[in-house]
């Protein structure tokens, strides 16, 4: 029986994933900063579930959590780096400490967990690492620059990691959701102090957050099933786009990029010796 280690399980994708993994009969190591928020999930299958209090920005807690999971179940077969949050801010508005804290959660936390689980995966010559990115990891929008930067960083790292670990039987998958009915646009979204010059751009994103919070088209339960499907596939994709909006926006962005390359290709090719 495989063992799944999932971060950020108190709400949203993490909670939906934890429930789906437990319902499928897998061993589940579920974590959240407040372990009481996931006590009900753990109680649903106590023989197969280990609930841990984990702040992914705390290196000592990351190490002890991985050790506890290995002691309980023997191995970690699937790591899902889900913990993270958003930040709505124009680049000029960004507060250094807030940005650094978000990077600690959205990027350095996953890196720490990856480094802790990789030795065991390499030794067994098997394993799956699922890094929860976003459509914002493919392209950015006004007010999302810093959040997108954390996801772009995670995507770049994941692409290198995939190539480094393929020879060791390890799969690395990026999941890129669009808007889903989680609390991402509500409770989980941090916001910078506004500068009036950005009312027509970032200000509109603030209004959009208020409109869509609780009304997003994506279903986290269906997303969880999709993530399990790719994580258990013999040949999983490098990236999984989730939701119609994410797929449509990505296709539009790729078409725009291809048009830019074609338009300026001749100039670019003339720059070699």
Catalytic entry in 19, 89, 144, 147: 147
Dist CA 29 CA 245 (whole Å):
31
108: Cβ contacts below 8 Å, ≥ 6 apart: 57
Q: Is 147 a catalytic residue?
A: yes
Catalytic entry in 31, 148, 151, 198: 151
Q: Is the dihedral of CA 67, 73, 78, 81 positive or negative?
A: negative
Q: Is 133 a catalytic residue?
A: yes
Pair 185, 212: CB distance under 8 Å: yes
Catalytic entry in 10, 89, 133, 158: 133
Q: What is the C-alpha radius of gyration for the chain, rounded to an integer number of angstroms?
A: 19
* DSSP alpha helix (H) spans, 125-184: 145-165
Dist CA 170 CA 160 (whole Å):
13
Quickly tell me which residue has 């994506």 as its tokens: 218
φ, ψ dihedrals at 37, nearest 5° = -70, -15
Q: Is 2 a catalytic residue?
A: no
**What is the CA angle 174-223-33, rounded to 5?**
75
User: What stretches of 36-123 adopt beta strand conformation (E)?
Assistant: 49-53, 78-81, 86-88
Cite the active site residues. Answer: 133, 147, 151
């Amino acid at each position: 029986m495989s063992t799944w280690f999932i971060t950020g399980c108190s709400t949203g994708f993490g909670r939906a994933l934890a429930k789906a993994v437990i319902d499928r009969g897998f061993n589940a190591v579920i974590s959240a900063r407040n372990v009481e928020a996931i006590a009900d999930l753990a109680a649903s299958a106590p023989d197969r579930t280990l609930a841990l209090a984990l702040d992914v920005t705390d290196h000592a807690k990351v190490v002890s959590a991985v050790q506890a999971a290995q002691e309980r179940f023997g191995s970690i077969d699937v790591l899902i780096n889900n913990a993270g949050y958003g930040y709505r801010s124009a680049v000029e508005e960004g507060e250094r400490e807030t940005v650094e804290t978000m990077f600690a959660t959205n990027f350095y936390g996953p890196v720490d967990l990856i480094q802790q689980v990789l030795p065991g995966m390499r030794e067994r010559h098997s394993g799956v690492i699922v890094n929860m990115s976003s459509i914002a990891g493919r392209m950015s929008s006004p007010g999302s620059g810093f959040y997108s930067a954390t996801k772009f960083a995670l995507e770049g790292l994941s692409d290198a990691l995939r190539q480094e670990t393929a020879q060791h039987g390890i799969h690395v998958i990026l999941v890129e959701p669009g808007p889903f009915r989680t609390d991402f646009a509500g409770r989980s979204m941090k916001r910078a102090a506004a500068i009036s010059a950005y009312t027509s751009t970032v200000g509109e994103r603030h209004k959009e957050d208020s409109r869509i919070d609780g009304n997003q088209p994506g279903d986290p339960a269906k997303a969880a099933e999709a993530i399990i499907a790719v994580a258990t596939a013999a040949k999983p994709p490098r990236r999984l786009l989730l939701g119609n909006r994410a797929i449509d926006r990505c296709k539009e962005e790729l078409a725009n990029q291809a048009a830019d390359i074609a338009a300026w290709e001749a100039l670019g090719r003339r720059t070699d010796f």
